[in-house]
């Protein structure tokens, strides 16, 4: 079968498209014939060996796939050949076949195309957590959304504009094409991070932030919530636009890890949340997110992902890391 290997930890140069044996099927697994595989930031982390390099290379990458069950192990119940499923293995999804434990499977509704399904169970779960249990967004909150045209950011914007009546959003992206998309999705203000200083622009929109000891509890200017999946240099600037008693959700580091000096905003009462969906596995919030995603798939207009051939993995991951992709990125297998 065709597959994409990680030959060594590091850059996208270490990705190789080639031949691999079809996976052996254990009694407690199912074999999925993959139609589409999804790309997310976790795949870049895995390729770079973060948080662990324990897995020997080479190995097949990929942690999201949709397709049809081809075979079922002898110990597996409630799953049958021919079922349309999404699989979330810890690796192996960038291939024509992947063997997974049923705990890493979910049914794909008949009404949902396989390629569109990939945008939701993982990315929307994060977007849901951001808006609801993490930031606890309320009507009237002002929101700053970094990487708003990315796989998670675009879904967070859709939740904010479709599920709330009065949550103004300023969305940050890197190209005019992305800014046009964000406007079409309801963003109230857009900022081009490559040509504009986002701090200056946010303070122009909502006025100077009351900050520091002398301002006491005065809350004016700035935003109530910043959703930051990029980190890097923004960890030194976001506090300048988050108003007193605001919330700062830091859920990724696509721009680098950065440094956070809380002494600069110690009198502002900002709640800093360096959160990951991993910490919510098995919680009531996890179940709530699952129900939310199911309802969304049934009732909402779904996004159309960018689709690339599996053989283009190297070039696509490079573009993904440079912030040149839009929305969910999917590979046709």
Given CA atoms 25, 29, 33, 38 in this order, what sign does their dihedral have?
Answer: negative
pLDDT digits (tens, 9 = 90+) for 36-55: 999 999 999 999 998 889 99
Q: pLDDT tens, 305-316? A: 999 999 999 999
Q: Which residues contact 299 (CB under 8 A, 6 or more apart)?
A: none
Give me the DSSP letters along 4-65: EEE-SSSSGGGEEEEE-PPPPPPTT-EEEEEEEEEE-HHHHHHHTT-S---SPSSEE--S-E
Rounded mean pLDDT of the chain?
Answer: 96
Over residues 184-212, the pLDDT tens digits come to 999 999 999 999 999 999 999 999 998 88
Residue 152 scores a pLDDT above 90: yes
Is the predicted pLDDT of residue 218 greater than 90, yes or no? no
pLDDT, tens only, 77-121: 999 999 999 999 999 999 999 999 999 999 999 999 999 999 999
For residues 141-157, average pLDDT: 97
CATH class for domain 123-279?
alpha beta
Q: Which pLDDT does position 254 carry in this prediction?
A: 86
pTM of the full structure: 0.93
**pLDDT confidence tier of residue 171, bands split at 50, 70 and 90:** very high
228-281 residue pLDDT tens:
999 999 999 999 999 999 999 999 988 888 899 999 999 999 999 999 999 999
Question: Does the pLDDT of residue 72 top 90, yes or no?
Answer: yes
Domain 2-119+302-332: CATH superfamily, name plus number:
Medium-chain alcohol dehydrogenases, catalytic domain (3.90.180.10)
Do residues 228 and 246 make contact, with C-beta atoms less than 8 angstroms apart? no
Whether 125 shows a pLDDT value over 90: the answer reads yes
pLDDT at 185: 98
Mean pLDDT value across residues 153-181: 97
3-state SS of 242-296 is: EEEEEEEEECCCCCCCCCCCHHHHCCCCCEEEECCHHHHCCCHHHHHHHHHHHHH
Residue 9 confidence (pLDDT) above 90: yes
Answer whether residue 162 shows pLDDT above 90. Answer: yes
Domain boundaries, the chain: 2-119+302-332, 123-279
Among the listed residues 265, 257, 200, 188, the one whose alpha carbon sits nearest the alpha carbon of residue 228: 257
What integer pLDDT is reported at residue 255 of this predicted model? 85
């Amino acid at each position: 079968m065709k597959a994409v290997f990680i030959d060594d930890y590091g850059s996208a140069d270490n990705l190789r498209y080639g031949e691999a044996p079809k996976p052996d099927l254990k009694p407690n697994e199912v074999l999925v014939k993959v139609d589409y595989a999804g790309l997310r930031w976790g795949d870049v982390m895995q390729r770079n060996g973060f948080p662990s390099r324990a897995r020997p290379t080479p190995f097949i990458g990929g942690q999201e796939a949709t397709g049809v069950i081809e075979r079922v192990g002898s110990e597996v119940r409630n799953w049958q050949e021919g079922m349309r499923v999404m699989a979330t293995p810890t690796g192996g999804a960038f291939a024509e076949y992947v063997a997974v434990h049923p705990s890493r499977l979910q049914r794909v509704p008949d009404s949902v195309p396989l390629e569109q399904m990939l945008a939701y169970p993982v990315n929307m779960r994060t977007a849901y957590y951001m808006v609801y249990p993490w930031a606890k967004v309320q009507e009237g909150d002002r929101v700053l959304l970094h990487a708003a045209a990315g796989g998670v950011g675009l879904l967070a914007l859709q939740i904010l504009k479709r599920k709330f009546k009065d949550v103004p959003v300023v969305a940050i992206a890197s190209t005019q094409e992305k800014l046009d998309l964000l406007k079409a999705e309801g963003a109230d203000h857009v900022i081009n991070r490559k040509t504009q200083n986002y701090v200056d622009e946010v303070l122009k929109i909502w006025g100077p932030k009351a900050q520091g000891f002398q301002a006491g509890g005065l809350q004016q200017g700035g935003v109530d919530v910043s959703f930051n999946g990029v980190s890097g240099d923004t960890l030194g600037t976001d506090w300048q636009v988050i108003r007193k008693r605001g919330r700062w959700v830091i859920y990724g580091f696509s721009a680098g890890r950065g440094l956070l000096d809380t002494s600069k905003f110690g009198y502002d009462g900002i709640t800093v949340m360096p959160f990951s969906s991993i910490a919510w596995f098995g919680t009531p919030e996890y179940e709530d997110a699952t129900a939310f995603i199911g309802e969304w798939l049934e009732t909402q207009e779904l996004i159309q992902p960018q689709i690339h051939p599996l053989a283009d993995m190297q070039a696509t991951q490079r573009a993904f890391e440079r912030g040149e992709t839009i929305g969910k990125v999917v590979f046709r297998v």
